[in-house]
């Protein structure tokens, strides 16, 4: 990215305010607490985008949870990352055999990454495996995956903030916004 | 996808890129494995057929990728509507140019979008097509049979690299004419194959009955 990002001016529109996100995360936390009451839950955050969501969500869950982190390479990654096949860059550090696992995602669009991840995690024999995503963009879906907890269903626009990036920037915005098209047109 | 197989000659560089993406995420795919007749004349002869670009067997999903300008996709939309009417159980997803562009943006490859969309992406050589293999229901088109899905191989997939598909290397009009000719050849071959199996394909009887009377669409136009 040669152009210098401008956090204040690169956002065309705020799609979800900080207050809206907070309220929804609290609601999701309540639901998850009820659904998993009395069970052993492991939250698996998919790096890097889901970090803020994970941090907020886990504090809204009122039952004991373990957390773990995973990172999966993305198509079009750097030359050193892109081997032509998806791979696990950061694997689980704990054993999920027999545990209830909830995968925490920032956004689901094509479903390709999650499809791969779910196949991988199923191989580790969890007692249950479900998905919680902050954002769902169904218009982009290629692989249909049942999503158990959805924060917001959003329109087909390129969004940034609250963990979501463009060129690794904008993750630290406290809201979810739409990036001005000129920003990525400049990079094209 | 452990076995490396020769990749098909894709009709469009954007299809090759989509195949790479599917390969990356270990989603099995087949390139144009099935052809579906969508328009018939009064005698039951196939006038038009639809061959989705990809079939994802594990997901039972067909993908059709069209990177032409939006105003040029009306014909394809009509064929897709017809396909859904005739084969309501078929799961087909149409990816427009804007969808493909968004996909490349997501993967930080937006610079490729202009090179791989529209007529500029049609830089693959004409395909060599083996003899047709007919089967009831979904019908094997005349030019297919080679399964792809192995690791990407630039050497066997012309048009994959941005340099090979850079706009301006061939006049857009010439590329479009070549594309139309290729489509026309394919449709004629499909029609011949379909005619050959029409009698044995039981599903076609129902399909014929559903065909509007007096239809006169001419097969082989650009998509």
Complete DSSP assignment for A120-132: HHHTT--SEEEEE
**Closest partner residue to B25 among A113, A140, A158, by Cβ?**
A113
Region B14-33: what's the mean pLDDT? 94
Q: How far is Cα B172 from Cα A60, in angstroms, rounded to an integer? A: 56
Residues of A with a known catalytic role:
109
Residues A48 and A77 sit within 8 Å (Cβ to Cβ): no
State the total domains in chain B. 1
Range of the domain at B138: 13-210
- Which residues have a Cβ under 8 Å from the Cβ of B95 and sit 6 or more positions away? B18, B63, B64, B65, B66, B103
Residues B222 and B76 sit within 8 Å (Cβ to Cβ): no
Residue-wise pLDDT tens digits, A84-128: 788 899 999 999 999 999 999 999 999 999 999 999 999 999 999
Statement: residue B63 has pLDDT above 90: yes
Q: How far is Cα A136 from Cα A110, in angstroms, rounded to an integer? A: 10
Residue-level pLDDT at B116: 61
- The model's confidence at residue B196, banded by pLDDT at 50, 70 and 90, is very low
Q: How far is Cα A149 from Cα A160, in angstroms, rounded to an integer? A: 20
Q: How far is Cα B139 from Cα B49, in angstroms, rounded to an integer? A: 10
3-state SS assignment for residue A145: coil
Contact A142 B107 (CB under 8 A): no
Q: How far is Cα B116 from Cα B138, in angstroms, rounded to an integer? A: 29
DSSP H or E run through B50: strand B46-50
Is position B98 within any domain?
Answer: yes
Is position B65 within any domain?
Answer: yes
Is position B5 within any domain?
Answer: no
Determine the distance in angstroms separating the CA of B82 from the nearest CA of chain A, rounded to an integer.
22
Q: How far is Cα A177 from Cα A14, in angstroms, rounded to an integer? A: 4
Output b/e per residue, A92-109; b: 16+ Cβ within 10 A: beeebeebbbbbbbbbbb
Region A68-93: what's the mean pLDDT? 80
Least Cα distance to A151 among A70, A85, A79, A60 occurs for A60
**Closest partner residue to A84 among B99, B107, B151, by Cβ?**
B151
Contact A112 B105 (CB under 8 A): no
Contact A143 B59 (CB under 8 A): yes
Q: What is the CA radius of gyration of chain A?
A: 17
Statement: residue A68 has pLDDT above 70: yes
CB neighbours (10 Å) of residue B217?
16
Interface predicted TM-score of the whole assembly (ipTM), two decimals: 0.84
Is position B180 within any domain?
Answer: yes
Least Cα distance to B45 among B222, B219, B223 occurs for B219
Is position B158 within any domain?
Answer: yes
B46 and chain A in contact, CB less than 8 A = no
- The model's confidence at residue B106, banded by pLDDT at 50, 70 and 90, is confident
Region A132-144: what's the mean pLDDT? 93
Region A57-78: what's the mean pLDDT? 91
Q: What is the CA radius of gyration of chain B?
A: 17
- The model's confidence at residue B107, banded by pLDDT at 50, 70 and 90, is confident
Determine the distance in angstroms separating the CA of A76 from the nearest CA of chain B, rounded to an integer.
5
Comparing A4-18, A78-92, A153-167, A170-184, the range with the smallest average pLDDT is A78-92
**Looking at chain A from residue 16 to 55, which residues have their Cβ under 8 Å from any Cβ of chain B?**
none
Domains of chain A, CATH where assigned: 20-155 (3.40.50.2020)
Report which of residues A9 and B173 the model is more confident about.
A9
Residue-level pLDDT at B205: 35
Is position B7 within any domain?
Answer: no
Q: How far is Cα B160 from Cα B115, in angstroms, rounded to an integer? A: 10
Region B81-90: what's the mean pLDDT? 94
What share of chain B in percent tops pLDDT 90? 29
Comparing A117-121, A179-183, B13-17, B182-186, the range with the smallest average pLDDT is B182-186
- The model's confidence at residue A165, banded by pLDDT at 50, 70 and 90, is very high
Region A54-64: what's the mean pLDDT? 98
Statement: residue B201 has pLDDT above 80: no
- The model's confidence at residue B4, banded by pLDDT at 50, 70 and 90, is low
A110 and chain B in contact, CB less than 8 A = yes
Contact B152 A84 (CB under 8 A): yes
Question: What is the number of CB-based contacts under 8 A between chain A and chain B?
Answer: 57
> Could you tell me the CA-to-CA distances from B93 to B52, B54, B55, B81 in Å, in that order?
9, 10, 10, 11
A-chain residue closest to B1, CA distance: A85
Is position B122 within any domain?
Answer: yes
Is position B164 within any domain?
Answer: yes
A169 and chain B in contact, CB less than 8 A = no
Interface probe with B: pick from A75, A113, A166, A187, most Cβ of B within 10 Å: A75
Interface probe with B: pick from A74, A112, A135, most Cβ of B within 10 Å: A112
B102 and chain A in contact, CB less than 8 A = yes
């Amino acid at each position: 990215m040669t152009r210098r990002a401008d956090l204040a001016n690169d956002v065309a529109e705020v799609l979800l305010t900080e207050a809206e996100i907070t309220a929804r995360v609290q609601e999701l936390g309540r639901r998850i607490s009820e659904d998993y009451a009395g069970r052993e839950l492991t939250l698996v955050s998919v790096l890097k985008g889901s970090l803020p969501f994970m941090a907020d969500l886990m504090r809204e869950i009122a039952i004991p949870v373990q957390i773990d982190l995973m990172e999966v390479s993305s198509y079009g990654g750097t030359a050193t990352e892109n081997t032509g096949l998806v791979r696990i860059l950061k694997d689980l550090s704990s054993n999920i055999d027999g545990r209830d696992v909830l995968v925490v995602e920032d956004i689901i669009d094509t479903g390709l990454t999650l499809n791969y991840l779910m196949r991988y995690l199923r191989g580790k024999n969890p007692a249950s495996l479900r998905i919680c995503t902050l954002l769902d963009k169904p218009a982009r879906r290629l692989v249909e995956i049942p999503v158990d907890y959805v924060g917001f269903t959003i329109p087909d626009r390129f969004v940034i903030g609250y963990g979501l990036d463009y060129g690794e920037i904008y993750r630290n915005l406290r809201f979810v916004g739409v990036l001005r098209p000129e920003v990525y047109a400049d990079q094209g | 996808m452990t076995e490396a197989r020769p990749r098909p000659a894709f009709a469009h560089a954007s299809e090759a890129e989509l195949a790479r993406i599917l390969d990356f995420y270990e989603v099995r795919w087949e390139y144009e494995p099935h052809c579906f007749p969508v328009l018939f004349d009064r005698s039951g002869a196939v006038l038009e057929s639809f061959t989705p670009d990809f079939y994802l067997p594990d997901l039972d999903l067909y993908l059709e990728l069209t990177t032409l300008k939006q105003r040029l996709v009306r014909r394809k939309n009509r064929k897709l509507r017809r396909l859904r009417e005739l084969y309501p159980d078929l799961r087909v997803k149409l990816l427009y140019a804007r969808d493909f562009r968004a996909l490349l943006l997501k993967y930080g490859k937006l610079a490729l979008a202009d090179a791989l969309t529209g007529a500029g992406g049609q830089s693959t050589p004409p395909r060599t097509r083996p003899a047709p293999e007919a089967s009831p229901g979904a019908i094997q088109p005349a030019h297919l049979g080679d399964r792809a899905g192995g690791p990407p191989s630039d050497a066997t997939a012309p048009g994959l690299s941005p340099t090979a598909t850079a706009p301006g290397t061939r006049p857009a009009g010439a590329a479009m004419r070549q594309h139309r000719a290729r489509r026309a050849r394919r449709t004629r071959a499909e029609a011949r194959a379909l005619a050959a199996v029409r009698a044995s394909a039981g599903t076609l009887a129902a399909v014929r009955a559903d065909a509007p009377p007096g239809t006169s669409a001419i097969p082989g136009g650009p998509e």
